[in-house]
Structure 1
């Protein structure tokens, strides 16, 4: 098992993670206000997904996160696809990210290449069970399955991501400590050669959405070798500095953060409203780096421009 995050961080300030997929897909005409969200594009416009990945690499990203956050076989089959076709869509999501990486990096000159991460990564997105419910519960953690049920839900998608060649898993927007625990156990039991980053969904700067202490949750996973970075995503920009300070006190792992851009989400209408008062990445990234963050990107509503602002301070 090779920890590619650790390899990439040697002699570097940090790594740049990509930004939102759905926001950019909407600019390609993909409708994302369904239960599939950005995964709709796997059926309707896969070339748009590749284009979005490539635009993030062009703007400084070292990591592409596959468009599989809300892509799962159960939901595809509920919508009428066969099991085989549903599985093929998960595989396709990885292939699109890898192709975008190749198309961008293969054209870089030697001088351009040495300025970037040694191993540009494709992270296989594993969203929580709450994303499958498509009711906003990834922001509440208000669901309760057994460990075996969580693992059964996640296993096939993880197998497909692994077989398609992701460099690591992205266990992201995890609001529920029990689900995170089930995922990490599944990683260790079934994917002993694979790494993952683990990012929580939080209700404030020190508490997971289900009420678990963020510090206690991070501390719990600190000794798991296969967790190669830990932190949060899909929270406000303003929360990040305090979060990094808290996490930094209880882990020696690289800290990963990728917040939203400050817009406000309505889970009922599945739409966003702009927040003109929000801070910017340009304002805050230097503070996050100083506090100890090592991997920084963007989540909902962020754009290649935002990722370019992050890359200015890292690349």
Structure 2
């Protein structure tokens, strides 16, 4: 597989990621309240997913992230879908992102990337565990969980794998070990779910350890943090910058705070310049890819793209 990520980084210097999928789907009338979150939208509202991808490309994003963060086969089977139907929904997510990318290129001449989202086992549990890392599987169990989705994303033609919101060390190590077997030659980025002080993974694993594991995996091209506040993400980037020579990636939340127990958000997420204002500090730390995570909007990505 050609390394489209490396080419884009060389061309652009800093690439702009997209923003939130679920809240943008909700604005289009899609129900994301169930345990599968937005993952059934590939079946129920594919047109809305395509619209969201297009909205972020139009805002200046260079990357469409597939709607597969929570779209794993175990979750689909738990929801009553057959194996073939579940596999097709993962492929559908990639098709929708690729179509939006190709349409944007045809209209503008700018070639974007499709990133295959791989969320943690905690997302499958649908209990906020990606914010705690408080779950346990054997290394073989983690690999068995992640293997089918990795295979489907690669077969469907993603340009890069987005291993994101990873909150704990054992799962992360198992997943990195799976890359060479299941996705040989496919570049990946690794983005972490960090504690509020930005100093460690949610389960307490030191970021220095994670940096060493990522540095040792030749497929990892970017390392960073997502799904947290701008301040804690920036602190984590500072720790990672001291521990690795890998370029960094960051995509924090909109400015609101999430309560994993009540599954509610609070605070002000209306600052359109939030991400753009943080960009100079991020670039000084070595960030080469920046965007938004939960509840971030096309307006925030547009401001970030203008700053880039």
- Tell me the TM-score normalized by structure 1: 0.93
Specify the alignment match of 2:224 in structure 1.
Answer: 231
Q: Is the 8 A contact 2:76 2:86 kept in 1?
A: yes
Q: Secondary structure at the match of 1:228?
A: strand
Match of 2:283 among 270, 273, 289: 289
**Are the equivalent residues in 1 in contact too, given 2:23–2:295 (CA < 8 A)?**
yes
Shift of 1:263: 1.1
2:250 to 254, 257, 276: 257
Is 2:75 the partner of 1:75?
yes
CA shift in 2, pair 1:250/1:107, >3 Å: same
Residue 8 to residue 277, structure 1, CA distance change in 2 (3 Å): closer
Query: What are the ranges of 5 or more consecutive residues in structure 1 without an aligned counterpart?
Result: none
Q: Report the TM-score, using the length of structure 2 for normalisation.
A: 0.95
**Partner SS, residue 107 of structure 2:** coil
CA distance in 1, matches of 2:128, 2:305: 30
- Cα gap change, 1:5 to 1:254, in 2 (>3 Å): farther
Matched, 1:154 2:150: no
Aligned twin of 1:48 = 48
What is the distance in 2 between the residues matched to 1:76 and 1:309? 36
Name the SS for the 1:166 alignment partner: coil
Aligned runs of 1:197-236 on 2, under 5 Å?
197-203=189-195, 204-236=197-229
Q: Which residue of 2 aligns with 1:137?
A: 129
> 1:199 Cα shift?
0.6
Counterpart CA distance in 2 for 1:98 and 1:277 is 30
Choose from 303, 309, 315 the match for 2:303.
309
> What's the CA shift for 1:239?
1.8
Cα distance per residue 1:160-196 (max 9 Å; x no partner): 1111001111110000111111111100122212121
- Deviation for aligned residue 1:215: 2.2
CA contact (8 A) 1:198 1:229 kept: yes
Q: 1:2 offset after TM fit, Å?
A: 3.8
How much does 1:67 deviate? 0.1
Q: Could you tell me whether the CA contact under 8 Å between 2:50 and 2:96 is conserved in 1?
A: yes
Task: Find the counterpart in structure 1 of residue 9 from structure 2.
Answer: 9
Change beyond 3 A, Cα 1:276–1:56? closer
* Structure 1 residue 271 corresponds to structure 2 residue 283: no
Describe the superposition over 1:238-285 as per-residue Cα deviations: whole angstroms up to 9, x where unpaired. Answer: 123222222111212220000001112233443323336978123212
Q: Name 2:29's counterpart in structure 1.
A: 29
Q: Distance in 2 between matches of 1:246 and 1:269?
A: 31
- What count of residue pairs does the alignment treat as equivalent? 306
Q: Structure 1, residues 183-212: CA drift from partner, whole Å, max 9, x if none?
A: 111001222121211111001311100101
1:187 corresponds to which residue?
A: 179
Report how far residue 8 of structure 1 moved: 1.4
- Structure 2 gaps of 5+ residues are none
The answer to whether 1:300 aligns with 2:294 is yes
Aligned counterparts, 1:86-101, within 5 A: 86-101=86-101
* Structure 2 residue 170 is matched with structure 1 residue 178: yes
